[in-house]
């Protein structure tokens, strides 16, 4: 038996991709169905954002999260549910008054960003550890806000997946562990290729991995054309992997992926060819130190 590698499927994301791909899941029903299909294809974890069903834009609506989670749980799927806490962190300064948020700003209080975690108590939730330029926007996660969110996540009994986009984010996460804000061993997600964070290269992944606290469980992903090369690289370096329509719309150069399940199937094939095997949801729970089903 080879090493067990957790495959996460990032089902829909929050980017403006609805008009770029006909199969981007938008409604809670579509998002849940796509997560279930990804699990059937080999994903152990489904990373969930929700969208406004009318506009396709990112949403913070608790009822949308609740419907997605209930549909997945009611289906009998044992896939681990990972809810995002990322939305509500974007800032675009107004052209005339930079103290005021312009078009594209969606900043909300940190308490609002973790409501779905507190209410629905998923297996995992993301926690973006750090501030950076994110394309043309600022992605703002101040230490004070992160402490508020981390405390709420811990009180809910949920394990955070610490998303890190550059080296300073790892340093901040380690500091929060020293403060007692984050538990150890931690789960890290190394995010590569996003403008303007660490590039999607083997050197970046090695550098970021080597900054992590000893004993950490980690995964990594690359966006767009780097998605599958970074799957192979993460397996080589001892990590876990992530794919999905949030990160990449193509199954190969110039060919749109039919759905999330197809991306997961390709990732699973790469994992197997690298001498490892896709982890089942139960194996993922064991690797992550989570309770087995029925004991939460």
- The domain limits of the chain are 4-288
The whole-angstrom separation of Cα 286 and Cα 295 is 13
pLDDT of residue 74: 97
pLDDT of residue 294: 57
Closest C-alpha to 110, from 87, 81, 92, 135: 87
CATH architecture of 4-288: Alpha-Beta Barrel (3.20)
Chain centroid to Cα 285, Å, comes to 17
pLDDT of residue 292: 79
- Ranges under pLDDT 70 in the chain: 1, 294-296
Instruction: Give me the sheet containing 137-139, strands edge to edge.
Output: 90-91, 137-139, 132-134
pTM of the model: 0.96
Angle between helices 62-74 and 28-41 (to 10 degrees): 40
């Amino acid at each position: 038996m080879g090493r067990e590698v957790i495959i996460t499927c990032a089902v829909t994301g929050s980017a403006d991709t609805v008009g770029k791909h006909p199969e981007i899941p938008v409604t809670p029903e579509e998002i849940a169905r796509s997560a279930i299909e990804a699990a059937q294809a080999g994903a152990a974890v489904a990373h969930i954002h929700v969208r406004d069903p009318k506009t396709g834009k990112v949403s913070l609506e608790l009822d949308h999260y609740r419907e997605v989670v209930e549909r997945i749980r009611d289906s009998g799927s044992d896939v681990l549910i990972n809810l995002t806490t990322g939305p509500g962190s974007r800032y675009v300064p107004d052209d005339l008054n930079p103290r005021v948020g312009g078009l594209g700003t969606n900043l909300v209080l940190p308490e609002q960003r973790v409501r779905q975690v507190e209410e629905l108590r998923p297996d995992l939730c993301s926690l973006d550890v750090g501030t950076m330029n994110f394309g043309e926007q600022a992605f703002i996660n101040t230490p004070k806000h992160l402490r508020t969110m981390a405390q709420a996540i811990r009180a809910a009994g949920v394990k955070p997946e610490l998303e890190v986009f550059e080296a300073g984010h790892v340093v901040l996460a380690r500091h929060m562990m020293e403060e007692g804000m984050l538990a150890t061993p931690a789960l890290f997600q190394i995010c590569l290729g996003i403008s303007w964070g660490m590039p999607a290269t083997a050197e970046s992944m090695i550098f970021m991995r080597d900054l992590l606290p000893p004993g950490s469980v980690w995964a990594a992903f690359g966006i767009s054309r780097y998605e599958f090369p970074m799957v192979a690289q993460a397996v080589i370096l001892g990590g876990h992997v992530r794919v999905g329509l949030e990160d990449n719309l193509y199954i190969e150069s110039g060919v749109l992926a039919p759905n999330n399940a197809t991306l997961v199937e390709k990732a699973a094939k790469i994992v197997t060819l690298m001498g490892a095997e896709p982890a089942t949801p139960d194996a993922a729970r064991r690797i992550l130190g989570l309770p087995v089903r029925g004991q939460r």
